[in-house]
Structure 1
Amino acid sequence: MDPILIFALSFGILATFFWYFATENPAKKRWIGTMLTVTLVVIGLFGAYPPEKRLKRGIDLAGGSSFVLELRPTPGKELSPTALEQAKVVIRQRLNEMGSADLKLFERGDDQLIVQMPGIEDSQRDSIREQLEKAAKLDFHLLHPQSSTLAPEVEAGTEYVGGYDLKTLEHYDKQGNLESTEQVLLEREPVLSGKYVKQSSGGFIPGEGNIVHLNFDSEGATKFFEITKDNVGRRLAIVLDGEVISAPNLNEAIAGGSCQISGMASDAEARGLANALNNPLEEAMEVVDERSISPSLGKDAVRQGLLAGVAGLLLTLFFVAIYYRLPGFIAIFGLVVNIILLFGIMAAFQFTFTMPGIAGIVLTIGMAVDANVLIYERLKEERANGKSIGAAIEAAYEKAFSAIFDANLTTLITAAILFVMATDAVRGFAVTLMVGIVASLFASLIVTRVCFWWLMTGGLLEKLSIGGKFKVPTFDFIGKRKLALVVSLGVIAVALASFGIKGENALGIDFRGGDEIQFKVPGDKEITVAEVKDSLAKLNLAQQPVVQAQGDVSGAGTFVTIHAADNTALSQFDDDGNQTNLGIIDHLRSDIPVLGEQDGNGDLIVTHSVQSVGPAMGKSLLTESGVALGVGLLAIMLFISLRYEFSFAVGALAALVHDLIIAGGIAVLLNIEMSVIQVGAFLTIAGYSINDTIVVFDRIRENLQNKSGNVADIVNDALNATLSRTLLTSGTTILTLLTLTIFGGPGMRDFSLTILIGVIVGTYSSVFVASPVTLWWSKRTGKNLRKEVQETEAAKELARTAQADHE
């Protein structure tokens, strides 16, 4: 979509929103809300259709390869300020030359680049990696006049020549075969840099062999002419990335600014070198993280993700319709609008969909239902208090607004921190969640309210049935706080013990480094863990890999996952293309017949994905993830402290720590590895826990302002008043997470299961931990919780009055 059009539409929609909230006339408000809804739905549908063309898919859904590159400066030197930007330009030019048009490049920190190429086949991955790591630093060095006699003596240690380096030069025939090697002595400092090369071309030329032609720019041509003129009779070494690839004699001064390099082993090497010389790097780069997923495996991920998403949506819609009846169908309409807006925004701004992003969509659905449940439970209370339908609806939306807004705002804070500080795997989830929250707020607070207004205008709400009556017995939560404390401390002790026992074994490949290989075996094929282990034993690896198998609940096959040491997944080759080390993938495909089978088109039937993380990269990710988690928790606590009284902030913090420790411990006990994506899961748990806690706190504060009596009793009444809502919203969220866990596949299963554990623990802590700790802290500090709330509200009222007088 054209950026100017997007800006114009955004400005118009924003102005309409201001008009909606500024208008007091109900009829006018109804028409403005309708216009907003219709406009946004049309834009969303137009922007997202057809979805297969409009929506961008990430590596995990489209297949392809992803690399993290780290720039490595020359020892003793620092990276130049322009090194990253120059590296981005070079990489884009090199890979575009190879036909990798759908290329995505992102900076990460001060010395890393992320390269993503959706749709790339495995056969292209190795050549792409080679191009990425090739620095192509070209220099020209003069050889010592007596190099042929001095070089052997220097090599033997009988002679030393200051200012010169000893190098090996290999000589190839015109067919690319190695004929001989020669020791040469060349000046340490270059006489000409390759930065003056304007253009190079390479290939096989009959009669000449594999040749690379160089053309210098005007300044380089002048320098090259002066060098060749002043050193006729000497040899000039052409050095690429520290290796001498040619050392021709200077028989005469060379004018015109061109020369050629011979001695390439193959036509492909000559063309690759020419491409690299056209785009040289200032600094060498190393691949520190590599992920590869075959396109067919990406299609499987899409299928499983859609299955999980549709199953979660249908379960949620069915529950809402059955339980709330007519208001339930209004909520369903709001959910449909929510999903249309989410996909439309993602498509319009070209945000990338990932597997965790699908989890974000399903979680958004659960949170949208939460907002509707809050409104409808309030609506029940207002009707029970004798209010008319119109007055009850207005009161329900007004009283539920603060809880809905605050709860979604805390989740938005965690999502924003994930987007800014986390890795790409988590960023896709964060983007989807942020867009989903905004769409959810619009759908639940405006769209459903407009629907109620139109139904009232048409006289269709005169005998409104709000739905089922989910009765829960009154429970003395505060009275059972000591028992709850014992239970919580016991489970926390078990969780901490699980961390201590597992130690580093609890960390996934993201944090400890290594290779992870995953084969997708179709349902009509069979392979066992024992078979894979027996085959791997033949490799005699220093560290024996860990093999796991996990069935696809849809019956489409089995996922076999292998965790191995760093640099063992792929076969290794030397500069001449000779295999130096057999990789796990190639070995298994040749040793186990099922893994080597091909279809009629010659494609492998059993697809695979690879993830490789270096140890240094793993430590870096662990640090970054810890910082992201810490900043996220700090931001949530800051918001609670500013929004509510400090006693409530202490209770919220206690519940947060409680939920994260227990959820993490149970995840470790279930053999869920701690990875970057799990950090996203923990921050999501934190956001959901606060969401639940805020709803309870909102009711406690309301009751403290409007009711008299013992504070502990008022807190208990508030907990019981919100209990049905807590159980209903937790139940719908658990349903959606269960669908992800069951149908989501390995890429989503551990992530959603961790959040599922967190939601269950968070539901418990919102009533048994957060509120009792708030009450305990208030008493411990000698403050009256009711007085704290009243003073805060009085200060707000005073500020509003002063603002009104000023205006």
Structure 2
Amino acid sequence: MSGKHIWKLAITGILVAFCLSYLIPLEDTDFAEAMRERTESSEFHALLDRAVEASETSETPLSVYMALKRIANEERIDLSQYFPDMRLEANLTNVQKRNNILLPVLLEESKSNLKRGLDIQGGISVTFEVDPAALAEVPQAERNEKLADAINIIERRVNSYGVTEPIVRPIGENRIELQLAGVNTKDNPDLLDTVKKPARLDFREVHPTARPGVDPRPVGYEAMTMIQESSGQEYEVELYVKRIPSLTGKYVADAFPRSTEMGGIEVILRLTDEGADLFADVTRELAAQADGGGAPGRLAIVLDGELQSAPTVREEIRGGSASITGRYTQREAIDLANTLNNPLELPLEVVEMYEVGPSMAQDSIESGITASKIGVVAVASFMIIYFFVGGLVALVSVVLNILIVLGVLASFNATLTLPGIAGIILTVGMAVDANILIFERVREELRNGKTLKTAVEGGFSKVFSTIFDANVTTLLVSIVMLGFGTGPVKGFGLTLAIGVASTMFCALVVTRVLMELIFESGALKKFTTLSILNDPKIDFLKFRKPAFIASWTLVIIGVVVLATKGDSIYGIDFTGGDEVILSFQDRLDEAEVRDTLAAADIGESIPLYQTQLGGADEVLRIQAGFNKGDAVVAALQSAHPEAGFEVVGKNEIGPSVGAEIQKNAFLSIGISLGLILLYIAFRFEIGYGVGAVVATIHDILLTLGVFVLVPGHQFTAPMVAAILLIVGYSLNDTIVLFDRIREELTLRPTSKLREVINIAINAVISRSLLTSITTLLASLSLMIFGKGVINDIAFTFTIGIITGTFSSIFIASPVFFFWHKGDRRSVESSHDTAPEYDWQASSKVSTSSSSTAE
């Protein structure tokens, strides 16, 4: 084994070990069990036993984690002594704060790094209600706007806790529903308090001389208390603080935590220009108090009615910067900064809390798993039958690819949701395609008379540019989604970005080293594959006009249908609807509920079972379209009288895919297409970029058109991921063809542009068909055997695969041809078309229609 193989295998081994270290364990570990394994201290084990007992005997829901935290804080037991490897700040002597830092880290250690989203594993549902008195003070015209602001603020606050893709939507006129994936309020009791804090920030002057308990309260002041700490001991300090603030939090432009020179943490405030001027005026007046021989003034910082600190002001402070100091932990400082950046104007109260099942029904999840297994077996079988040993190599490479994507996601502590899974599906498609590209190039080299070793080297050399360009364009899409997207768009973008890097590594490193080791060992003397097409010579551009006209006619029809159907094509995720909450005596399966409602012509319905936190009674929550609530109840009571359904609540719910997510999805796609145009213009030339963008837009519109033309389909939240999936697939297919056109232009300096394009299409048509077949095997298995939303995504992607393959040949290439008016001189004058290839013009070996390429 040569040195170049050893280092490649070593890097692969290290990467796999890294990913496995984050993926194991795959499931969460019981906290008590994890802590017993974490330390051997018998004294700590005794504390843990007490916590377990307290959890089991508590009248209210209490986790072992919270019971341990309560015991340690009440008895002032420093838990860090049992975990010497966990280093805390040396100057942090407060036992409670040390425990509050340590315990969340230990809790996180007991959980799987790769978390499941709300659509896969469920979580909690919390309903907030706006204080009616506060809402009454808001003009009627501004109420919806204020509620929308509150929804956006709650979503941003929850995201700071690392909860990916929360669902936040309005219910009725004064309620907001928040759904969180995999969150346990028994272990996160402060989360909801942080989410609903109004964050009223005031800067108030402190009375220069009077003190509570010593002097009478001056007019216009109130007594306030703050906690200070010295030598590990906390004590209270009382001050008289002005009731009317000199400055409020509305002038805060930005807030962020920062470590101090003394090892503590403070929160830095950046004020707006107007706020900076006001702050300078206030601090100048306070500093001037010392001119008369007295002490400098103090400026109190009051948050939500509680005195945080009262620093002395010795000079005028310009520049619009201030700091809030206190004995904050890092989490507390982050929470404070996040709250100040997103202040809620309307006070909220929690009125309902439920544990909810997965938003994707259990039957959909189970059918999806079954369909995925069938798809994997189908793709694996096809690759092995077609490419023989090459197929086995490709499967090893693809499996490692999936492992790397999941491992890196876990290292980011990411949440795996349905859009993320769509990103993995696209990654698998790109990985299979990359291997097919490699094998088809190796076959070409063999047909040109090269030896097996030279053919493998030449195949990888020539395919590098194609794989690189295809993956970089996909990476641009994912970067834009990460930067501008929210919710499902961002989740898809993260998975896709990781998938691009892992695909290039596995295709160009893992596949290559495995093939070289197999052939250099002498175990195989030839590279044997089946063949779909042998040296085709089809004049594809001959059909460009009728194909172009037919496809765009279908696009126009689809767009017209989209426009005429209006909101009727959108599901509950986009429009909102009615929600009914039912009690029952006999529990029906979600699939049975959905089938009953479908038979009653209710339209889209989402049944979810949920249990109130702290209670044992389960209820059935059903979401349907507007004005369908009564029909839902009637249909279920009529079809299943034995279930004993009774209405316990009705609501009108807003969309879970808010306007911001929709806007950012379109913005992400638009910016992505612009960047792709620039990149392809730089790497190729502008005509290629125009062709790629037009083909991608065509595929999106055609897929949407076909989707709405087929009865029984509506746009739901996961469809955002499906459309993004098509964008990635379409680009990948188009770049492969354009890279071959560029190469053929260099190899055939005297051929006309039309001839070159036809030669390039014929050269890659076999690869296009193979990639489409393998991808269709996976998507068709999901479409045939999957249920619910899985079926919808698979149906959409199946359309996208067909349109993507079609558009590369009959849209992208003709647009490129039209752009340059059929003249290759126009292409050559626009850009250097010659890639650096070590091409040997060997005599071609004629091939028959046999099934072996050597």
Q: Which residue of 1 aligns with 2:626?
A: 565
Higher mean displacement: 452-461 or 30-39: 452-461
Q: Which residue of 2 aligns with 1:652?
A: 692
1:742–1:749 contact (8 Å) kept in structure 2: yes
Distance 1:129 1:676 in 2: 25
Higher mean displacement: 416-425 or 115-124: 115-124
Distance 1:51 1:381 in 2: 43
Distance 2:413 2:740 in 1: 40
Higher mean displacement: 641-650 or 70-79: 70-79
Q: Which residue of 1 aligns with 2:670?
A: 630
Q: Which residue of 2 aligns with 1:498?
A: 561
Distance 1:457 1:723 in 2: 30
Q: Which residue of 1 aligns with 2:777?
A: 735
Distance 1:779 1:484 in 2: 18
1:329 positional shift:
1.0
1:661 positional shift:
1.4
Closer/same/farther in 2, CA of residues 529 and 560 from structure 1, 3 Å limit: farther
Distance 2:559 2:784 in 1: 27
SS at match of 1:310: helix
Which residues in structure 2 correspond to 1:750-769 (within 5 Å)? 750-769=792-811
Q: Which residue of 1 aligns with 2:17?
A: 42
Which residues in structure 2 correspond to 1:501-650 (within 5 Å)? 501-515=564-578, 521-522=588-589, 529=596, 546-547=603-604, 562-565=623-626, 593=640, 596=643, 612-613=653-654, 618-650=658-690
SS at match of 1:769: helix
1:197–1:217 contact (8 Å) kept in structure 2: yes
1:304–1:744 contact (8 Å) kept in structure 2: yes
1:504 positional shift:
2.5
1:334–1:448 contact (8 Å) kept in structure 2: yes
1:311 positional shift:
2.3
1:511–1:675 contact (8 Å) kept in structure 2: yes
Distance 2:641 2:399 in 1: 44
Letter in 2 for 1:426: V
User: What's the RMSD between the two structures over aligned residues?
Assistant: 5.2
Distance 2:344 2:815 in 1: 58
| Structure-1-length-normalised TM-score | 0.63
Distance 2:591 2:345 in 1: 49
SS at match of 2:541: coil
State yes or no: 1:687 paired with 2:728: yes
Distance 1:319 1:745 in 2: 25
2:544–2:810 contact (8 Å) kept in structure 1: yes
1:84–1:107 contact (8 Å) kept in structure 2: no
Q: Which residue of 1 aligns with 2:745?
A: 704
Which residues in structure 2 correspond to 1:28-427 (within 5 Å)? 28-53=3-28, 54=112, 55-65=114-124, 117-119=180-182, 218-219=237-238, 283-284=345-346, 293-294=356-357, 300=363, 302-427=365-490
Letter in 2 for 1:639: Y
2:226–2:238 contact (8 Å) kept in structure 1: no
Distance 1:194 1:638 in 2: 63
- Provide, for residues 175-230 of structure 1, a one-character-per-residue CA deviation record: whole Å limited to 9, x for no partner: xxxxxxxxxxxxxxx9789996989xxxxxxxxxxxxxxxx974478889xxxxxx
Q: Which residue of 2 aligns with 1:170?
A: none
Q: 1:456 aligns with which of 508, 516, 519?
A: 519
- Provide, for residues 226-256 of structure 1, a one-character-per-residue CA deviation record: whole Å limited to 9, x for no partner: xxxxxxxxxxxxxxxxxxxxxxxxxxxxxxx
Q: 1:723 aligns with which of 742, 760, 765?
A: 765
Distance 2:594 2:541 in 1: 55
1:47–1:348 contact (8 Å) kept in structure 2: yes
Higher mean displacement: 620-629 or 727-736: 620-629
SS at match of 1:496: helix
Distance 2:186 2:713 in 1: 32
Matched length: 597
SS at match of 1:779: coil
Distance 2:651 2:781 in 1: 26
1:50 positional shift:
2.8
State yes or no: 1:665 paired with 2:732: no
Closer/same/farther in 2, CA of residues 735 and 114 from structure 1, 3 Å limit: farther
State yes or no: 1:784 paired with 2:851: no
2:387–2:529 contact (8 Å) kept in structure 1: yes
Structure 2 regions of 5+ residues with no counterpart? 29-111, 169-175, 203-218, 229-234, 244-338, 608-619, 839-854
Distance 2:469 2:349 in 1: 43
Q: Which residue of 1 aligns with 2:791?
A: 749
Closer/same/farther in 2, CA of residues 30 and 592 from structure 1, 3 Å limit: same
Closer/same/farther in 2, CA of residues 669 and 549 from structure 1, 3 Å limit: farther
1:28 positional shift:
2.1
Distance 2:13 2:789 in 1: 36
Distance 2:704 2:563 in 1: 12
Distance 1:69 1:325 in 2: 59
Distance 2:199 2:455 in 1: 73
Using the aligned pairs only, state the percent identity: 32
- Provide, for residues 67-107 of structure 1, a one-character-per-residue CA deviation record: whole Å limited to 9, x for no partner: 7999999869999xx999997999899xxxxxxx9967989
1:305–1:358 contact (8 Å) kept in structure 2: no
1:293–1:610 contact (8 Å) kept in structure 2: no
Closer/same/farther in 2, CA of residues 725 and 627 from structure 1, 3 Å limit: same
- Provide, for residues 497-547 of structure 1, a one-character-per-residue CA deviation record: whole Å limited to 9, x for no partner: 21122122223334334357899953995776469859xxxxxxxxxx645
Closer/same/farther in 2, CA of residues 371 and 785 from structure 1, 3 Å limit: farther
1:529–1:547 contact (8 Å) kept in structure 2: no
1:309–1:358 contact (8 Å) kept in structure 2: no
SS at match of 2:180: strand
1:624 positional shift:
2.8
Closer/same/farther in 2, CA of residues 549 and 438 from structure 1, 3 Å limit: same
Distance 2:12 2:459 in 1: 21
Higher mean displacement: 585-594 or 705-714: 585-594
1:359–1:740 contact (8 Å) kept in structure 2: no
Letter in 2 for 1:725: R
1:338 positional shift:
1.3
Closer/same/farther in 2, CA of residues 690 and 489 from structure 1, 3 Å limit: same
Letter in 2 for 1:649: G
Closer/same/farther in 2, CA of residues 382 and 508 from structure 1, 3 Å limit: same
2:588–2:643 contact (8 Å) kept in structure 1: no
Higher mean displacement: 64-73 or 428-437: 64-73
SS at match of 2:538: coil
Q: Which residue of 1 aligns with 2:205?
A: none
Distance 1:478 1:588 in 2: 56
